[in-house]
């Protein structure tokens, strides 16, 4: 990852600290379901394939950050109509595309076309959901709809981070977890809450970026309240399941989100 970041940043002097979670959140997602058994850890071919998969997902995650919620790319903001803001947003899009193209090299080296197709579908859903959420927020700011309408599509808040969901799901498949393993029932709900919590945080940051527009306090308060409730539910789940390795790994991911 360090080598790839150095290589890409040599093309343009970008500080990607704001776009890359150094705790390797997507690697944690792959490992969330369990640990790789000794039969696979001793297999150097599988080990290298897994490194390629994780590297590809981490590079994609940086690309999605550059393509994420930004005032400079929104027709809500004056920044959108400012040539300097427009130029910055265009550079963000181009830089995100470079990360996407580099990620593909590693994902193909994983040599599983079904996983590759699922990742592509996840990217499609991620961008569609982010667009829907952007349009919903725009309508609330312009007084065309109620703040509750932003939350009407529950799946949009999950799908806005669909790539992380696919990382977690792929990890489950790697470890052969069945319906009775950690991803059934409460565990699957915990994963969905984690993704929704992440999206709510991103939307709050997005709202705060409109410095020249008075924030819709109802929308801001609803997002903050929902995020706080999700955090409480996740912490309760971790406490209740403290003996479970899954809960410990979930808690680590939660801690990594707090750092981002």
What's the pTM? 0.87
Note down pLDDT in tens along the chain; length 260 residues: 888 888 888 877 777 766 788 899 999 999 987 765 556 656 888 889 999 999 999 999 999 988 877 665 566 655 455 555 566 667 788 888 999 999 999 999 999 999 999 999 999 999 999 988 888 888 887 778 887 777 766 689 999 999 999 999 999 888 766 555 555 667 889 999 999 999 999 998 888 877 655 555 678 888 899 999 999 999 999 998 877 888 899 999 999 998 76
For 160-190, b where at least 16 C-beta lie within 10 A, e where not — what string?
Answer: bbbbbbbbbbbbbebbebeeeebbeeebeeb
Domain count, the chain: 1
CATH number, position 43: 1.10.600.10
Place of tokens 């109802």: 218
**What residues make up the domain containing 103?**
2-259
């Amino acid at each position: 990852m360090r080598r790839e970041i150095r290589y890409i940043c040599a093309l343009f002097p970008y500080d990607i600290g704001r776009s890359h979670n150094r705790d390797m959140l997507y690697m944690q997602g792959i490992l969330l379901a369990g640990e790789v058994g000794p039969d696979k850890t001793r297999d150097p071919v599988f080990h290298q394939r897994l490194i390629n998969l994780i590297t590809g997902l981490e590079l994609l995650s940086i690309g999605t950050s550059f393509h994420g919620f930004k005032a400079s790319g929104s027709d809500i903001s004056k920044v959108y109509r400012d040539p300097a803001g427009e130029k910055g947003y265009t550079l963000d899009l181009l830089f995100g595309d470079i990360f996407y193209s580099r990620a593909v090299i590693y994902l193909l080296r994983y040599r599983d076309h079904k996983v590759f197709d699922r990742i592509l579908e996840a990217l499609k859903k991620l961008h569609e959901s982010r667009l829907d959420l952007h349009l919903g927020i725009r309508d609330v700011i312009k007084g065309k709809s109620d703040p509750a309408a932003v939350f009407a599509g529950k799946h949009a808040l999950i799908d806005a981070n669909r790539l992380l969901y696919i990382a977690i799901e792929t990890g489950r498949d790697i470890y052969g977890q069945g319906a009775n393993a950690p991803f059934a029932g409460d565990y699957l709900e915990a994963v969905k809450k984690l993704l929704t919590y992440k999206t709510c945080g991103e939307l709050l940051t997005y709202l705060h970026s409109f410095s020249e527009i008075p924030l819709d306090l109802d929308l801001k308060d609803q997002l903050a309240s929902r995020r706080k409730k999700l955090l409480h539910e996740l912490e309760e789940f971790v406490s209740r399941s403290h003996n479970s390795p899954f809960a410990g790994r979930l808690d680590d991911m939660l801690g990594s989100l707090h750092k981002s």
